[in-house]
Chains A and B, each alone.
Chain A
């Protein structure tokens, strides 16, 4: 028996198939993963992400502390409400976790970390807090619902507390608004417009029911995975972990190198990797032959072993199989874009493409 979110009984009532995930009992789908995926691409779907863990960082040293803790720079969050995606690295430059940090003005910051890594993350964060005047407050009292899709915001706003409706309606992408214990960000993990709503756990079921009544489709972890893969977004534990650097995981863009004097944890090894031309890099793959790309399948470029698939699957929006892969050396412009993936020991043709594969319901890659 795993941990249960405040929405567990709501999932059971909807006939969800429940699976163990990161110590939690979570819905993987409510009937058809593909239909849930399509609901998010075409209208609106919602996900119980209450297993993810908000962690509030406050105190006079909160900014200095996070500028040391995170590879991206919270100094870029000059406006209250602005959000930032970042990796949290170990001293070797490996990824302890990826997270979103929201700037909460005078209240400090809120981080949202992965379920599977939450305990490890918070232990690490506490250990790094020595010498800083900061409070680290794990918010086990909050639930979290992600509403995603082109109709997500319009179907959600009226269900929010009155004091939030106006500010959420005016949110720009990657900004959040809050009132009381509600924090609503225009963020997500699907490649669509939408909101991620943190709220008191005791109020989660009422919002979930309101969203159901508004025609928002309940979606499970299965659709969440195919949506994020189409959106070219990494999954922690699969596309990167403590043994891999953000530079070999397609996350170089999340490292704030400037200001050069900011000594974030993991900076030194990354500075060395940065100048290494043989460093592996992340690519996207579109399968040309028949089959389905899956994690750990070997990738060959010019008949030479080059690396392996880190996340693969069937992309419902494209009707094709796609993947993220880590290969060495990173193919540059002008390199032959054809490659081969070994599927059950047989070579199958694939093509190197640049993620994301899908955004806002539209394919971003050529399928021929």
Chain B
């Protein structure tokens, strides 16, 4: 059973978003996603300053098995990226909700998180996948 923290919001495409309560969010991939992908060996993060739309592919994680696009859970501007993933992509496997964060976004619409799933909704979404 994978870990699904109650305080985060989720996209059905397996990204999580943490509301930093200042109009920004932190984005990563879920425990379920990293487990399904297997050992990660490469992460391509977006450029700081890039404007992304909701559901736009803006990062890539590659495991030993395959490449997988990461979609932005909301529209906004990329204000920070996790540079340490370049040398240690396995951090996402080890700590998907903490050290394995991928980018931070300044939200175009501060209320955008409302359209994402809560933990219960995401748990249901992955149960429906199986």
Contact = CB atoms under 8 A, between A and B. Distances in A.
Contacts of B65: 28, 33, 222
Contact of A314 (B42, B44, B86): B42
A290 B42 contact: yes
Interface in A320-368: 321, 344
Contacts of A294: 66-67
B38 A222 contact: yes
A237 B78 CA distance: 41
Interface in A1-55: 28-29, 32-34
A33 B64 contact: yes
A292 B39 contact: no
Nearest to B57: A344
A291 interface: yes
A202 B38 CA distance: 32
B38 A291 contact: no
Contacts of A321: 41-42
Q: Give the residue among B60, B64, B66 with the most A Cβ atoms within 10 A.
A: B64
A34 B42 contact: no
Contacts, number: 38
Contact of A222 (B44, B60, B64, B67): B64
Given A291-B42, A292-B42, A34 B67 contact: no
Contacts of A292: 41-42, 62, 67
Interface in A285-323: 290-292, 294, 313-314, 316, 321
Contacts of B66: 294
> How big is chain A's contact interface, by range?
10 to 19
A313 B40 CA distance: 12
A344 B42 CA distance: 14
A189 B90 CA distance: 27
A363 to B, nearest CB: 17
A226 B41 CA distance: 13
Nearest to A313: B64
Contacts of B38: 28-29, 32-33, 222
Interface in B62-106: 62, 64-67, 86
Contacts of B62: 291-292, 314
A136 B33 CA distance: 46
B64 A314 contact: yes
Nearest to B60: A344
B64 A226 contact: yes
Give the interface centre of A291, A314, A344 by most chain B CB atoms within 10 Å. A314
Interface of B: 38-39, 41-42, 44, 60, 62, 64-67, 86
22 contacts: A28-B38, A28-B65, A33-B38, A33-B64, A34-B41, A34-B64, A226-B64, A290-B44, A290-B86, A291-B42, A291-B44, A292-B41, A292-B42, A292-B62, A294-B66, A294-B67, A314-B41, A314-B42, A314-B64, A321-B41, A344-B60, A344-B67
Interface of A: 28-29, 32-34, 222, 226, 290-292, 294, 313-314, 316, 321, 344
